Chain A
Amino acid sequence: MRFSINGADHEIDFDIRTSLLDLLREHLQLTGTKKGCDQGACGACTVLVDGERINACLALAVQYQGRAITTIEGLGTPGHLHALQAAFVEHDGFQCGYCTPGQICSAVGMAAEARRGVPSVVTADLAATQIALDHDELRERMSGNLCRCGAHNGIIDAVRQVLAREAA
């Protein structure tokens, strides 16, 4: 089976039951994508598929052949951080760092959704064409990523700063 991950092609055979998450972690040693519940209930495994955020733990890898998969390793490296990664460091948007890759990938996907005009459940006017991402909007849209260390304030500050810079 052929996979495109962070711009590189991988030809790989595996047990058909393998999740996209385990494919990344156990077969490709791309361990930046984390396993927190394996049930779609924590968001630590969030990756981007064709730019959309999904939970890799609920994805059977076989369903994602040929799609453009981006993981945290594809966003930036310690020496060349993505703007969101750098903002997470600056705003201390993490403590243990385990949910962090998922939070960051999720924020990248969220930004794309926002640019597309996707509403959220806290959007007052669903018919609006432009939705300002205020504090509630950001918090709701990031609620699929749990953080147990309680870095929520720093995470939202980091995301808000990067989105504001993008908009400027």
Chain B
Amino acid sequence: MSALAQTSWRPDGASDPLATRHGLIGAPVSRIDGPLKVAGQARFAAEVSMPGLLHAGFVYSSVARGRIKAIDTAAAEALPGVALVMTHRNAPRMKPPALFGTTPEAAGASDLPIMQDAEIHWNGQTVAVVLAETREQAEEAAALVAVEYESLPAVTAFAAAKAHAHPPESVLGEPAVLEIGDAEAALAAAAVKVDLTFTTPRQNHNAIELHAATIAWEGDRLTIHDASQLVTMTAATIAQVFDLDPKQVRVLSPYVGGGFGGKCLWDHQILGAAAARLAGRPVRVVLSREGVFRLVGGRTQTEQRVALAATADGKLDALIHTGVAAMTAHNACPEQFTFPARHLYAARTFKLVQQVAEMDMLANTFMRAPGESIGTFALECAIDELAEKLGADPVAFRRGIEPEKDPTSSHEFSTRHLNEAYAAGAERFGWAKRSATPRARRDGEWLIGMGCATGTYPYYRMPGGAARITLTADGRARVAAAAHEMGMGTATVQSQVAAERLGLPLDRVSFALGDTELPPSPVAGGSNQTAAIGAAVIAAHTELVKALLKLAGNASPLAGLSTDEVEGRDAGLGKRGDAARFESYASILRRAGRDEVTVQAEAPMPLELQKWSMHSTAAQFCEVRVSESTGEVRVARFLGSFDCGRILNAKTARSQFRGGIVMGLGLALTEETLFDERSGRIVNATMAEYHVPVHLDVPEIEVIWTDIPDPRTPMGARGIGEIGITGVGAAVANAVYNATGKRIRDLPITLDKLL
């Protein structure tokens, strides 16, 4: 094995040395941007001031499909302060955005043309944008735009759409249908089995920050201060829409007020840019909360079947997970709910089938753990039901179906420690105190029950990321990547990692992000950002070491050493295992007569994913109290036990896990976007009637982790943004069953279902 492989992580080679290093890795460092955030000084997209700014008001279609027959903008245009009203009649000509996934840089949530014709494709589509001097004037004017529609027949009922359900071409690059053996035959022959139907509703991200953008043109150069989790792709796609060079579009997004998959490229940024160009003035777009529901898609609804057959000795003879997700003809988000079943459990036969049913509606999109969040709800409730039929403890039952390698791809796992996570979680939670018999515990009118479920989320590392490192003669490093901060603690964690890699104190390292003038970054999605940036920083660091050794020259104690023989330590470079051969960064640069040295490099392609099955797993434990009088469910305790590789910052990681779990409690108990199937219109487009959990809904949530490094990933870490939500729905539902004896297979578990 070459020395390089021993010291530098490669996707197909040896581990990143940081994976086993202590010091800053894993330290519970408080957020570097914390003081700015708590003092209200972090500037978000809607908070950039510009001279001559116009404010945008939006008018939304009230029909699901049809044509604009007439649109009267005269009253709106006559209002004082109104600069223009943009409709399909006067909007600049724009290309439809390239659909996400069709090219590496495509960010379009759908590939429908935006305000280019009179066609209406969903109830809530923008039909006019008003620009005015003040927000108040823009909104008053928007209300005065009168639209007449010619309605066309629309598919707005899931049942009708399901009649034409079909497998999509692929599900995020995976086959929509995957069969091993004859699962239906095995199911038919089995003595112990379950065959169950689960339904999950539409949900919306509802980040607290409203979608917003402050947009200015300077000639053919466009600047967008956006709330974005994909700045590089947004700039590329907006350039494509307006026929510009990507270099002519700059997207800045240093702070994002919550994303969860929702802060991507939607019509409002494109319409804002179009209107700004038409008006010749900068524009601020701040969608209303209703506007967010009308223009920004959420998680789609599904109907899923999980059927499991058990052998007498508690193994799985058949694992069937099939179902249908509502989608549109213009987007690419089939909600991969069968993904957990592809990797979680050993079974002799598999039948995994994803279908989509096309509806006339706003494009659905990725929302925290798309697929896995609701797929684990169905699968893990079914596992609980099967374990009960077998008379087995659900934790012990899962131990018995733990696979040795990936059950459908046959790849080795990079690492997998679900059993350890279950053991530690069960112990800490007091699982042994659970009664296997429902309704065994009560406190007055409150029935008490415990449930558990497995969570899982893949490791992803998207290609296309790069990073820049600037080392200065005063012994400081500035690391930069376009990247995104939506609350994950990106700058904090990346500074920790870079400081450890460079051998610098944390306060000597800064991390800049949220700007397309910095080296490109892939989407902050699929929980991939930490690994994506991490790999790019490793590549840049290798370049930096090369450059420093060159600068150091023959007069240095490092003379003659190659990059793979040295490491960053004590604010300089040193030979591994040799304390004497060392020179500080300051000394190297001073002697070379340099104030600073800057390197940039791209991350290598994610070859690790082709060789290993790479997944995080979790054991989620829940205790609920259910009122026997009213059916109200209160989550009393929750514990998540995670196997996600190396944890890089214990403080921010705990928060991210908890955050996923809290959103999972909403998924389990309260959240539902109400889609009126008569009109195709969302009727609860407010935070008052879309119920995210409030403080009183959230118990103390305990989080533990294995902290076992994944030898195949940068820093030994796997992303943790999404796994928290997975398994939570099932853990809650299984606890509700343990409390009440009622199996609820239709989310959310509102009290009416328990009366």
Interface residues of A (CB under 8 A from B): 15, 17-18, 22, 25-26, 29-42, 44, 71-73, 75-79, 81, 85-86, 88-90, 92, 94-101, 104, 122, 135-136, 138-140, 142-156
Q: Which residues of A contact B288 (CB under 8 A)?
A: 38
Complex interface residues of chain B between 348 and 404 (CB less than 8 A to chain A): none
Expressed in whole angstroms, the Cα–Cα distance for A35 and B31 within the complex equals: 23
- B285 vs chain A, min Cβ distance (A): 13
A94 x B38 contact (CB < 8 A): yes
Expressed in whole angstroms, the Cα–Cα distance for A18 and B140 within the complex equals: 12
Kindly name the residue among A33, A39, A92, A147 whose own CB sees the greatest number of chain B CB atoms within 10 A: A92
Q: Does B610 contact A (CB under 8 A)?
A: no
A34 x B488 contact (CB < 8 A): no
- A134 vs chain B, min Cβ distance (A): 12
Contact sample, A vs B, 17 pairs, CB 8 Å cutoff: A15-B134, A30-B40, A31-B40, A37-B688, A39-B289, A41-B688, A73-B41, A77-B39, A81-B39, A89-B35, A90-B30, A92-B30, A96-B257, A97-B257, A99-B257, A143-B695, A147-B695
Kindly name the residue among B485, B488, B652, B687 whose own CB sees the greatest number of chain A CB atoms within 10 A: B687
Expressed in whole angstroms, the Cα–Cα distance for A104 and B37 within the complex equals: 11
Q: Which residues of B contact A88 (CB under 8 A)?
A: 34, 38
B255 x A97 contact (CB < 8 A): yes
Q: Does B266 contact A (CB under 8 A)?
A: no
- B675 vs chain A, min Cβ distance (A): 20
B486 x A96 contact (CB < 8 A): yes
Q: Which residues of A contact B242 (CB under 8 A)?
A: none
- B641 vs chain A, min Cβ distance (A): 16
Kindly name the residue among B37, B257, B660, B695 whose own CB sees the greatest number of chain A CB atoms within 10 A: B695
Q: Which residues of A contact B289 (CB under 8 A)?
A: 36-39, 41
Q: Does B661 contact A (CB under 8 A)?
A: yes
Q: Which residues of A contact B134 (CB under 8 A)?
A: 15, 18, 26
B40 x A33 contact (CB < 8 A): yes
A95 x B34 contact (CB < 8 A): no
Q: Which residues of B contact A143 (CB under 8 A)?
A: 694-696
- Considering the complex of A and B, which 3 residue pairs feature the smallest CB-CB distances, nearest first? A32-B40, A95-B487, A98-B257
Q: Select one of A44, A76, A135 contacting B208, CB under 8 A.
A: A44
B30 x A96 contact (CB < 8 A): no
B695 x A152 contact (CB < 8 A): yes
Main secondary structure of the interface of A (DSSP, over half): loop
Expressed in whole angstroms, the Cα–Cα distance for A139 and B634 within the complex equals: 13
Q: Does B169 contact A (CB under 8 A)?
A: no
- A34 vs chain B, min Cβ distance (A): 7
Of all chain A residues, the one with the shortest Cβ separation from B286 is: A35
Complex interface residues of chain B between 200 and 237 (CB less than 8 A to chain A): 205-210
Q: Select one of B259, B659, B687 contacting A37, CB under 8 A.
A: B687
Q: Given A37-B289, A98-B208, A98-B209, A149 and B487 touching (CB < 8 A)?
A: yes
A147 x B686 contact (CB < 8 A): no
A151 x B655 contact (CB < 8 A): yes
Q: Does B341 contact A (CB under 8 A)?
A: no
A136 x B696 contact (CB < 8 A): yes
Q: Which residues of A contact B33 (CB under 8 A)?
A: 97
Expressed in whole angstroms, the Cα–Cα distance for A151 and B419 within the complex equals: 28
Of all chain B residues, the one with the shortest Cβ separation from A71 is: B40
Complex interface residues of chain B between 681 and 710 (CB less than 8 A to chain A): 686-688, 692-696, 698, 700-701
Q: Given A36-B687, A42-B208, A150-B662, A95 and B695 touching (CB < 8 A)?
A: no
B655 x A18 contact (CB < 8 A): no
Q: Given A38-B289, A39-B688, A96 and B38 touching (CB < 8 A)?
A: no
Complex interface residues of chain B between 30 and 87 (CB less than 8 A to chain A): 30-31, 33-44, 46-47, 49
Q: Which residues of A contact B136 (CB under 8 A)?
A: 15, 17-18, 22
B659 x A150 contact (CB < 8 A): yes
A89 x B686 contact (CB < 8 A): no
Q: Given A98-B257, A140-B696, A148-B260, A29 and B209 touching (CB < 8 A)?
A: no
Q: Which residues of A contact B660 (CB under 8 A)?
A: 150
A76 x B695 contact (CB < 8 A): no
Q: Does B656 contact A (CB under 8 A)?
A: yes
A98 x B258 contact (CB < 8 A): yes
Q: Given A42-B687, A95-B656, A152-B698, A100 and B37 touching (CB < 8 A)?
A: yes
Kindly name the residue among A42, A72, A75 whose own CB sees the greatest number of chain B CB atoms within 10 A: A42
Expressed in whole angstroms, the Cα–Cα distance for A28 and B540 within the complex equals: 43
Q: Select one of B37, B46, B488, B663 contacting A94, CB under 8 A.
A: B37
- A133 vs chain B, min Cβ distance (A): 13
B655 x A152 contact (CB < 8 A): no
Kindly name the residue among A95, A150, A154, A156 whose own CB sees the greatest number of chain B CB atoms within 10 A: A150
Q: Which residues of B contact A25 (CB under 8 A)?
A: 46-47
Q: Which residues of B contact A34 (CB under 8 A)?
A: 40, 44, 208-209, 257
Of all chain B residues, the one with the shortest Cβ separation from A85 is: B38
Q: Does B651 contact A (CB under 8 A)?
A: yes
Q: Which residues of A contact B695 (CB under 8 A)?
A: 138-140, 142-143, 145, 147, 152, 155-156
Expressed in whole angstroms, the Cα–Cα distance for A76 and B660 within the complex equals: 30
Q: Does B256 contact A (CB under 8 A)?
A: yes
Residue interface mask B247-291, A partner, CB < 8 A = 1: 000000001111110000000000000000000000000101100
Expressed in whole angstroms, the Cα–Cα distance for A154 and B28 within the complex equals: 14
A39 x B686 contact (CB < 8 A): yes
Q: Given A34-B209, A150-B659, A152-B662, A97 and B137 touching (CB < 8 A)?
A: no
Expressed in whole angstroms, the Cα–Cα distance for A136 and B661 within the complex equals: 19
Q: Does B546 contact A (CB under 8 A)?
A: no
B36 x A15 contact (CB < 8 A): no
Q: Which residues of B contact A44 (CB under 8 A)?
A: 208
Expressed in whole angstroms, the Cα–Cα distance for A39 and B137 within the complex equals: 18
Q: Does B464 contact A (CB under 8 A)?
A: no
Complex interface residues of chain B between 123 and 137 (CB less than 8 A to chain A): 134-137
What would 8 more interface pairs be, CB under 8 Å, given A15-B137, A100-B37, A148-B260?
A31-B47, A34-B208, A36-B209, A41-B289, A92-B654, A150-B698, A150-B724, A155-B695
